Amino acid sequence: MTPSVIAGLLGAALVGLGLYGLILHPHPLRKLLAFNLIGSGVFLVFGIVARRGAAAGLRFDPVPQAMIITGIVVAFAASAVAVALILRLSAVGRRVTLDPEVPTRPDGGDAK
C-alpha cells in the first residue's frame, strides 16, 4: 500500500462522507461542513496528483499545490459567505432550513 493509495482512499472516504452529509443532513450548517469535507477529499486528490508529477521525474510538481492553496482560499471564502447567510437567517428569527416553504406572501414580493 503506497502512500498515494492511502491518500486516495482517504480522499474517497472524505468525499463519500461529505456527500452523505450534504445530501441528507437537513441543517444548512451541517451541509456546509459536509461541503468542506468533500473539499478536503478533493484537495487530497490534488495532493496525489502532485506526487504523480514527482513520479514523472520532477522532485515534485508545484502546480497542484498552488491549486490546493487557491482551492482552500476559495472554499474558505465560500464557507464565510454561507456562514454569514446562515447567521442572517437565524438573526431574522427564521428556522434555518433550505425548505422554501411558501416563501411568498399572497400580495406578492417586491412591494416591500
Partner 1 sequence: MTDLFPILLVASLGTPLAFLAACFVKGWRRQVLALQWLAPTPALATGLAGLTRAPLTYDLPVSGFTLRLDPPSALLLAGAALLWIIISAAIWRDRQPDNRWGLSWLLTMTGNLGVFIAGDLVSFYLLYALASIPAYGLFAFSDDGERKRAGAIYMAFTILGEALLLLAFAMLIAGEPHGSANIADVMAALPTSPWRDAILGLIIAGFGMKMGMIPFNGWMPLTYSAAPIPAAAVLSGAGVKAGVIGLLRFLPLGLPLEGWGDALVVMGFLCAFYGVAFGLVQQNTKVVLAYSSISQMGVIMAAFGVALVKGQAGAALEVGFYAANHLLVKAALFLTIGVLAIRGGRLSRATYILAALLALSLAGLPLTGGALAKIATKAQFAGGAEAVLATLSSIGTAMLMTHFLICLATSPSGAAQECPAGFVPLWPGIALGAILLPWAFYPAVGDISYAFEWGTLVDGLWPVALGVGLALILRRIDRFLPRVPVGDSIVLEEAAFGRLLGIGSSFKALDARLCQWSAACVSLLLITLALLAASL
Partner 2 sequence: MTELWTTTPGGYLIVLAILLPLAGIILSFTLGGRSAERVALGSTPFGLALACAIALHVGRAGKPIVYVIGALEPPLGIALRADGISAIMLITTAVIVTAAALYARAKFATPDGIRESRSSLIFWIMLQSIWAALIIIFVSGDLFNLYVALELLTFAAVPLVCIDGRPETLVAALRYLLFALFGSICYLLGVALLYGAHGTLDIPLLAQRVQSTPVVWTAAALMTGGLLAKTALFPLHLWLPPAHANAPAAASAVLSSLVVKGSFFLTLRLWFYVLPGLSADQAAMVIGCLGSAAIIAGSVMALRQARLKLLIAYSTVAQIGYLFLVFPLATGAQSWSAMSWSACFMQILAHAFAKAAMFFSAGLLAEALGHDQIARLGGAARVLPLTFLTIALSGLSLMGLPPSGGFSAKWLMLQASIISGQWFWTLPILAGGLLAAGYVYRILAPALSDDRISLKSSPKRSQEVLALGLAMIAIALGFMPQTFSDILEIGRPIAAALP
Q: Which residues of the chain form contacts with partner 1 (CB under 8 A)?
A: 19, 22-24, 98, 100
The CA distance from 50 to 58, in Å, is 10
Choose the one of partner 2, partner 1, none that binds residue 15, judging by a C-beta under 5 to 8 angstroms depending on kind. partner 2
Q: Which conformational region is residue 93 in: left (phi greater than 0), alpha (psi within -120 to 50 degrees), or beta?
A: left
Joined grid coordinates for residue 79: 464557507
- Which position has the grid cell 443532513? 25
Burial class of residue 88 in the structure, from the number of CB atoms within 10 Å of its CB (0-12 exposed, 13-18 middle, 19+ buried): exposed
Q: Which is nearer to partner 2, 5 or 77 (CB)?
A: 77
Q: In whole angstroms, how close is the CB of 107 to partner 2 at the nearest point?
A: 6
Q: Which is nearer to partner 1, 24 or 85 (CB)?
A: 24
Q: Which stretches of the chain are DSSP H helices?
A: 3-24, 28-55, 62-91
Q: Which is nearer to partner 2, 1 or 111 (CB)?
A: 111
Binding site for partner 2 (CB under 8 A): 15, 22, 28, 31-32, 35, 38-39, 42, 45-46, 48-49, 52-53, 56, 61, 63-64, 67, 70-71, 74, 77-78, 81-82, 85-86, 88-89, 92, 94, 97-100, 103-104, 107-112
